[in-house]
Structure 1
């Protein structure tokens, strides 16, 4: 199993709390070395699924594999985990907090302190190395906790809603840190209810709603479920060229918007030119991950995602 192409796999995981179904047959696979996004509104089952994957709780049904191990806790030293509930000792200096978190994963304290100094310097927090956590801003403290999650050099990093509560600047810094980990070969799984983060970072995603996986696979595959959108502006208002437009084409101002016909752009262009449309602008846009999410999970789930922002 160590040679598996997947860093993590879930197979038909089910979890109930007080008889209520929280996770209903969740399955997904995370390729090694990838950045994998776990998308869904709050309460969809993301955190419960990740905790089962980590071995913090066991599934009632189904199974999971983490770094080739059927018992996730046996490989805990190779995993970094940032829970949704943040927590650091407020009186502990930043360097010591990072070293302490590394020690929980088997890293000697002396080595952890040395690595902590380097990590803080690289994160632009060198002057805060010996300052207590209580003196740091929320964004700084969250950065310290993330550094404590990676200080032992994990093969797999699992981050539960890591962007929650951060301003735009610190969100950008966190995205850069995630990319840097992936460039080193670390597999990263993060859950989020903000689709933009997944669209910028991920090649693979799982979309979960009401405890069920609605889609798991490549972002490009999710987006390919929708046809590209054509934006067309013409000089002519009427003419034979209009017969080339789909029946559901919408006119907004002086532009038409419609799905690219299955026949592709060439027949459309020919019909517009031959029909005397007088093309001023024509662009073809691929649908974004948000559009794909709505198509896959439904407008209600997308609205819940927006409400959680």
Structure 2
């Protein structure tokens, strides 16, 4: 039976309940629950070593969980729907002597696509993605970015209904990261479900409908990006000319104050429960000299810190910095 998403609006492409995995007695994944609606862009966000890859491999049936169940398109055995899935692992690998169109056709054949059809689709995809000039080149003759694009196209050539990317942005320059984001959005527009793991928050924030935040093998949060951000109150950002005066009584006691030279002062604090209208009047009447006043919604990074903790957020930041330096 096809189950619906928690909101009840869309059937689930992926459902996992209580996934547990140990390696040599060490707990790598500890009771993961995930529900991915069909047609969604879903991110698994966490630092390296948090359990992202192990979770994806259990979902796909590459490894079996020690406990728990997972379903893809309602099937308990992922291999029964393997032809509907495209999977790009974190470890990239193509046969270096293969030509580009042959490599794509080969990957499609692993999912049941006839080789001749795979070659034709591979050429079409290479042309569409600006690699028409490389159709007859061997993989060993390509740049790293071009080779990664060929492997991506091989993941998509059989036109899957579900695409799973493990750290797809790793090792890509900014231009190719942007191209991949466009591809992911196009897949979703075509009704394809996309799930990807990442340790880079801005990719998840820009692309995802929903995320699972994973840290130390657990998922403390799974749901919409908006709901994650809404766990933290919106912040007021205020810039004033004056630094003192009766108007200061309108600001919360815990307002953060940053001085910028002699001309302006910045204040940061949560939006008061009573709103900002009364506070704004006191600021004006007290001649605070308002230069700027804005209400800023919390970002996904702030939500990650709130949900997963400072240690996980630091590890995430270090992973992202290490990825950019490669």
Structure 2: gaps of 5 or more residues:
5-10, 260-264, 321-326
Equivalent residue, structure 2, for 1:291: 302
CA distance in 2, matches of 1:2, 1:101: 29
Give 1:16-27 correspondences, 5 Å limit.
16-27=22-33
Are positions 1:255 and 2:261 aligned together?
Answer: no
CA distance in 2, matches of 1:264, 1:10: 41
Are positions 1:282 and 2:293 aligned together?
Answer: yes
Measured against aligned partners, the alpha-carbon deviations of 1:249-272 in whole angstroms (never above 9, x if no partner) come to 121121111121222222322332
The runs of at least 4 consecutive aligned structure 1 residues that moved more than 3 Å come to: none
Q: CA RMSD in A?
A: 1.2
Of 153, 156, 176, which aligns to 2:159?
153
Quote the offset at 1:185 in angstroms: 0.6
Equivalent residue, structure 2, for 1:206: 212
CA distance in 1, matches of 2:2, 2:112: 21
Of 62, 78, 83, which aligns to 1:77?
83
Are positions 1:196 and 2:202 aligned together?
Answer: yes
Are positions 1:304 and 2:315 aligned together?
Answer: yes
CA distance in 1, matches of 2:285, 2:15: 54
User: Which is further off, 1-10 or 171-180?
Assistant: 1-10
Query: Does the 8 A contact of 2:46 with 2:213 survive in 1?
Result: yes
CA distance in 1, matches of 2:74, 2:163: 15
SS at match of 1:308: helix
CA distance in 2, matches of 1:217, 1:189: 13
Quote the offset at 1:3 in angstroms: 6.3
Equivalent residue, structure 1, for 2:8: none
SS at match of 1:226: coil
CA distance in 1, matches of 2:105, 2:274: 60
Measured against aligned partners, the alpha-carbon deviations of 1:119-155 in whole angstroms (never above 9, x if no partner) come to 1111110100110001111111111101000110100
Structure 1: gaps of 5 or more residues:
none
Of 43, 48, 55, which aligns to 1:49?
55
User: Which is further off, 66-75 or 252-261?
Assistant: 252-261
SS at match of 2:121: helix
CA distance in 1, matches of 2:92, 2:86: 14
Give 1:73-222 correspondences, 5 Å limit.
73-222=79-228
CA distance in 2, matches of 1:22, 1:300: 18
SS at match of 1:199: helix
TM-score for both structures, normalised by structure 2:
0.92
Quote the offset at 1:273 in angstroms: 2.6
Are positions 1:269 and 2:280 aligned together?
Answer: yes
User: Which is further off, 261-270 or 158-167?
Assistant: 261-270
Q: How many residues in Structure 1 have an aligned counterpart in Structure 2?
A: 309
Query: Does the 8 A contact of 2:42 with 2:209 survive in 1?
Result: yes
Quote the offset at 1:308 in angstroms: 1.4
Quote the offset at 1:161 in angstroms: 0.5
Equivalent residue, structure 2, for 1:232: 238
Give 1:3-18 correspondences, 5 Å limit.
4=4, 5-18=11-24
CA distance in 1, matches of 2:101, 2:86: 17
